[in-house]
Amino acid sequence: MGSRASTLLRDEEIEEIKKETGFSHSQITRLYSRFTSLDKGENGTLCREDFQRIPELAINPLGDRIINTFFPEGEDQVNFRGFMRTLAHFRPIDDHEKNKDPNVSEPLNSRNNKLLFAFRLYDLDKDDKISRDELLQVLRMMVGVNISDDQLGSIADRTIQEADQDGDSSISFTEFIKVLEKVDVEQKMSIRFLH
């Protein structure tokens, strides 16, 4: 597992990824082996079917949306860099990163970027607003069949009402951030990546 990965992943690539995402060397190698094992076509990129082949994702209510986030705008394939870039959002925030100076671009796993990731799960048309319909879609995906459309509709209304401050009946990213300001997003949206 380890040896195969390292022969295919050059060290300078690892360094680049490390700089961009902040993962450690061993984490990158491990994730690379996972990447290659998912890559059944063995062409160095993953397509959507490779993701869909993961059984647990199929029965995850938000599985499709998650898969979508890996693929940048309009593309069908994601290479390892892109894969790591998306995964980097879930890296736990290190303490020493919290006080970086604002001139450096925000690391991928900052709180803001994590929230942006979550926001994009809802916002498919990428207009930086979660409309009522988009919210309803996600709600419906997360909820069983016992809730009727009406109930769900009123829940969605209530959600928007709570969050909406500028009165446009949709949730913008700023409003989204505001609503979740007390939630420990750093912890909720982080995974302990194995070494």
Partner 1 sequence: MGSLSIWRLTLVVFYIVVLIHGSSAAYGNGKTPTTSSPGQPSNPVHTFPAPKKEYLPVFQMNYPRIQIPFEITLWILLASLAKIGFHVYHKITVWVPECCLLITIGLIVGGIMYSVHEESPAVLTTDVFFLYLLPPIVLDAGYFMPTRLFFENCGTVLWFSVVGTLWNSIGIGISLFGICQIEAFGIQDINLQENLLFGTIISTVDPVAVLAVFEEVNINEQLYIVVFGESLYNDAITVALYSLFKYISQMDQVDSIDIFLGTADFFVVGFGGIMFGLLFGFVAAFTTRFTANTRELEPVFVFMYSYLAYLIAELFSLSSIMAIVTCALTMKYYVEENVSQRSCTTIRHFLKMWSSVSETLIFFFLGVTTVTSKHEWNWAYIGFTLIFCIVWRGLGVLVLAQIINNFRTIPFTFKDQFSMAYGGLRGAICFSLAFLLPNTFPRRNLFTTAAIAVIIFTVFIQGITIRPLIDYLNVRRTNRKLMTINVEIHSRAMEHTIAGIEDLCGQWSHYYWKDKFKKINDRFLRKVLIKDNRPQSSIVSLYKKLELQNALVLLDSNGGISGAPSLTSLQEQKPTKPETFLPEEVWSMQELLSKNMYKIHERTLTYTRHSLPNEIRTKEILLRRHSTIRKSMRKAGTWQTPAAAKYYSLPPTVQNLQPRLRLRKSSLTGDDDGDDDIASEINFPPARPRLQLRAKEPRRALQPPRNKLETVNEVRTDSRRTPMVDYENRGGSAMSENSKGRGTGTKRALTPMRQFGLFNEQGLKNKEKEDQMEMEEFRYTPAANRREEAREEASDSETTHPLLNRPMHQYKP
CB of 105 to partner 1, least distance (A): 23
| Cβ-defined contacts of 18-24 (< 8 Å, 24+) | 20/81, 20/84, 20/85, 20/88, 20/108, 21/84, 21/85, 21/87, 21/88, 21/91, 21/108, 22/88, 22/91, 22/94, 22/97, 22/107, 22/108, 22/109, 23/84, 23/87, 23/88, 23/91, 23/193, 24/195
User: Can you tell me the distance from the alpha carbon of 63 to that of 42, in angstroms, rounded to the nearest whole number?
Assistant: 23
Quick one: 103 or 167, whose CB is closer to partner 1? Answer: 167
User: Can you tell me the distance from the alpha carbon of 154 to that of 27, in angstroms, rounded to the nearest whole number?
Assistant: 44
Quick one: 110 or 180, whose CB is closer to partner 1? Answer: 180
Window 146-175: residues binding partner 1 (CB under 8 A): 146-147, 149, 151-155, 157-164, 169
- Tell whether residue 8 is a contact of partner 1 (CB under 8 A): no
Window 12-51: residues binding partner 1 (CB under 8 A): 31, 34, 37, 40-41, 47-49, 51
Strand partners, 171: 130
Window 49-68: residues binding partner 1 (CB under 8 A): 49, 51-68
Window 129-148: residues binding partner 1 (CB under 8 A): 132-134, 136-147
Please identify, among the stretches 3-11, 12-20, 71-79, 96-104, the one whose residues bind partner 1 according to the rule CB under 8 A: 71-79
Window 79-108: residues binding partner 1 (CB under 8 A): 87, 90
CB of 113 to partner 1, least distance (A): 13
